[in-house]
């Protein structure tokens, strides 16, 4: 943590963006700010998961269980790569949130400019690397031969669209860093609706198979990214970067990489465990693969509030750290945790009561074995939703406070848990062991994260007090 993190500068009022767009979370009621930021972000994530569900549902309904299994077999490696992209962008945005909270607008623009350069480099390198290795990764994962080609045709398109992933996630991250979670929602709604249309056209009219669903996803996200760019140019004068601010800065690059890469690795390290688990699940046959893929999609949709809570707390913590208001961070994290507990209980009841009917989104009613497996998977997840909520809330808060490297260790805990369950227990216990892998991972991560949060806050309080004493 460098000392200038806590230095405050005055805003240049001429560069201020629309106050209706920007949300300063360093003053006022924490719960009110969290809810105001949370709900638009939640709806945005719901729509993002919606078009993931649509991809899966259309593939399952119109192309059949083998195609559904093909898409499902790519889920873990998709998370491994795309999760890294999203983590990097979230890390870059946290730096912007801290500068915004500290009222350092020039520093904000310099970090944004350097983030753009770094994102371009990351996007090019990753696209080339993973596209070349794509087929070999699927072979290594023991993807069943009957779905290998379908899985490859889907995931290679997703990987070629990595620059689009960076475009949307970076720009929407900047908007959220300044407290605007509503605008990305609007663009996601538009792109979600377009994605549904593109899915149907690609599969039913152009007969592109499972690759068509991937094309639809990439195209929809591209539209979202372009809309974000246009809006930012028009509505965020505070982000209008001047000529000298585009210059690469070693300090900015180091800070951005120090936050972005650990956050990206956090996603990827977690996903490595999922890849190892998927490798074991693939050996159980395409029916189990399809069940876990479908159940996973449904569970991810239900878990969107937890992701939204995490992203909310990252911005909230980042802004309040910049403003040196750590007491507000404590109040915020407890408020968010109470909200998570209420929703977790609600979601658990939902999966127990209607999980069977949710499965029918993906398969015909005649697929009784597959429906039963999906229902069972959802119930296992539902019982452990609150530990998952805490993973997101606490980990993202720690990241927002500038300790991204520490949060990686939580990802290591998740990776270890899923790897052990996948390697030792799934081959022996089968489907039930696969269902317990994620709950075990969440509990182990919480056992690390919760004590880590209190240690981080204690360290920061001491650091701020020392700076205050030096200034006096």
- Distances in Å between the Cα of 113 and the Cα atoms of 107, 120, 199 are 10, 11, 35
The backbone region for 236, taken as left when phi is positive above 0, alpha when psi lies in -120 to 50, beta otherwise, is beta
What is the C-alpha separation between 262 and 405, in angstroms, rounded?
5
pLDDT for the residue numbered 471: 43
pLDDT for the residue numbered 332: 92
Task: Say if CB 20 and CB 113 are below 8 A apart.
Answer: no
What is the C-alpha separation between 57 and 359, in angstroms, rounded?
10
Torsion of CA 382, 387, 389, 391, to 10 degrees: -140
Quote the tokens at residue 56. Answer: 């899966």
Name, in order, each residue with C-beta under 8 angstroms of 451's C-beta and a sequence gap of 6 or more: none
CB atoms within 10 A of CB 421: 24
CA angle 242, 245, 247 (to 5 degrees): 130
pLDDT for the residue numbered 102: 81
What is the C-alpha separation between 127 and 189, in angstroms, rounded?
27
pTM above 0.85, yes or no: no
pLDDT, mean of each 10-residue run, the chain (472 residues): 33 43 78 85 74 74 84 84 91 86 86 95 97 93 88 95 95 87 81 86 91 91 91 88 88 91 82 85 86 87 90 88 88 94 95 89 79 93 96 92 82 90 91 93 95 93 64 40
**Using CA of residue 327, residue 328, residue 331, residue 333, what is the dihedral sign?**
negative
3-state secondary structure 97-120: HHHHHCCCHHHHHHHHHHHHHHHH
pLDDT for the residue numbered 10: 35
CB atoms within 10 A of CB 354: 12
What is the C-alpha separation between 265 and 166, in angstroms, rounded?
15
3-state secondary structure the chain: CCHHHHCCCCCCHHHCCCCCCCCCCCCCCHHHHHHHHHHHHHHHHHHHHHHHHHHHHHHHHHHCHHHHHHHHHCHHHHHHHHHHHHHHHHHHHHHHHHHHHCCCHHHHHHHHHHHHHHHHHHHHHHHHHHHHHHHHHHHHCCCCHHHHHHHHHHHHHHHHCHHHHHHHHHHHHHHHHCCCCHHHHHHHHHHHHHHHHHHHHHHHHCCCCHHHHHHHHHHHHHHHHHHHHHHHHHHCHHHCCCHHHHCCCHHHHHHHHHHHHHHHHHHHHHHHHHHHHHHHHHCCCHHHHHHHHHHHHHHHHHCHHHHHHHHHHHHHHHHHHHCCCHHHHHHHHHHHHHHHHHHHHHHHHHHHHHHHHHHCCCCCCCCHHHHHHHHHHHHHHHHCHHHHHHHHHHHHHHHHCCCHHHHHHHHHHHHHHHHHHHHHHHHHHCHHHHHHHHHHHHHHHHHHHHHHHHHHHHHHHHHHHHHHHHHC
Q: Which residues of 11-25 are buried (b: 16+ CB within 10 A; e: fewer)?
A: eeeeeebeeebbbeb
**Using CA of residue 356, residue 360, residue 363, residue 366, what is the dihedral sign?**
positive
Closest CA to 379 of 441, 435, 452, 316: 435
């Amino acid at each position: 943590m460098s000392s200038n993190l806590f230095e405050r500068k005055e805003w240049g009022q001429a560069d201020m963006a629309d106050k209706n767009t920007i949300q300063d979370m360093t003053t006022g009621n924490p719960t009110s700010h969290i809810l105001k930021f949370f709900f638009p972000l939640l709806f945005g994530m719901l729509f993002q998961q919606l078009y993931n569900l649509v991809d899966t549902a259309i593939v399952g309904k119109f192309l059949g269980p083998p195609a559904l299994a093909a898409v499902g077999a790519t889920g873990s490696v998709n998370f491994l790569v795309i999760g890294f992209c999203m983590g990097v962008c979230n890390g870059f945005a946290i730096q912007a949130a801290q500068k915004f909270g500290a009222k350092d607008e020039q520093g904000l623009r310099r970090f944004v400019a350097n983030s753009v350069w770094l994102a371009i480099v990351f996007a090019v390198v990753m696209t080339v690397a993973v596209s070349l290795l794509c087929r070999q990764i699927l072979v290594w994962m023991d993807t069943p031969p009957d779905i290998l080609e379908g899985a490859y045709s889907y995931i290679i398109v997703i990987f070629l669209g990595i620059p689009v992933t960076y475009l949307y996630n970076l720009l929407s991250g900047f908007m959220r860093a300044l407290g605007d979670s509503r605008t990305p929602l609007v663009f996601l709604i538009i792109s979600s609706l377009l994605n549904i249309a593109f899915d149907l056209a690609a599969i039913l009219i152009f007969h592109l198979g499972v690759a068509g669903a991937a094309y639809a996803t990439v195209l929809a996200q591209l539209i979202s990214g372009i809309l974000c760019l246009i809006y930012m140019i028009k509505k965020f004068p505070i982000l209008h970067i001047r000529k000298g601010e585009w210059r690469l800065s070693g300090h900015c690059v180091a800070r951005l990489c120090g936050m972005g890469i650990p956050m990206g690795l956090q996603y990827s390290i977690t996903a490595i465990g999922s890849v190892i688990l998927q490798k074991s699940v693939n050996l159980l046959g395409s029916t189990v693969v399809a069940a876990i893929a479908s159940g996973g999609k449904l569970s991810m949709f239900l878990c969107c509030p937890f992701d939204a809570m995490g992203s909310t707390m990252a911005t909230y913590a980042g802004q309040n750290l910049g403003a040196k208001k750590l007491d507000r961070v404590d109040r915020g994290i407890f408020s968010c945790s109470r909200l998570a507990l209420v929703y977790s209980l609600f979601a658990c009841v939902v999966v127990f009561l209607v999980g069977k009917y949710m499965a029918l989104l993906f398969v015909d009613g005649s697929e009784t074995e597959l429906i039963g497996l999906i229902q069972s998977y959802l119930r296992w997840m539902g019982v452990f939703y609150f530990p998952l909520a805490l993973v997101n809330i606490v980990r993202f808060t720690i990241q927002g406070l500038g300790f991204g490297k520490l949060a990686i260790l939580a990802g290591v805990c998740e990776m270890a848990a899923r790897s052990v369950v996948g390697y030792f227990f799934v081959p022996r216990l089968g489907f039930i062991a696969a269902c317990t892998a994620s709950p075990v991972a969440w509990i182990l991560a919480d056992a690390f994260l919760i004590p880590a949060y209190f240690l981080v806050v204690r360290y920061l309080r001491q650091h701020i007090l020392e700076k205050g004493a030096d200034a006096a």
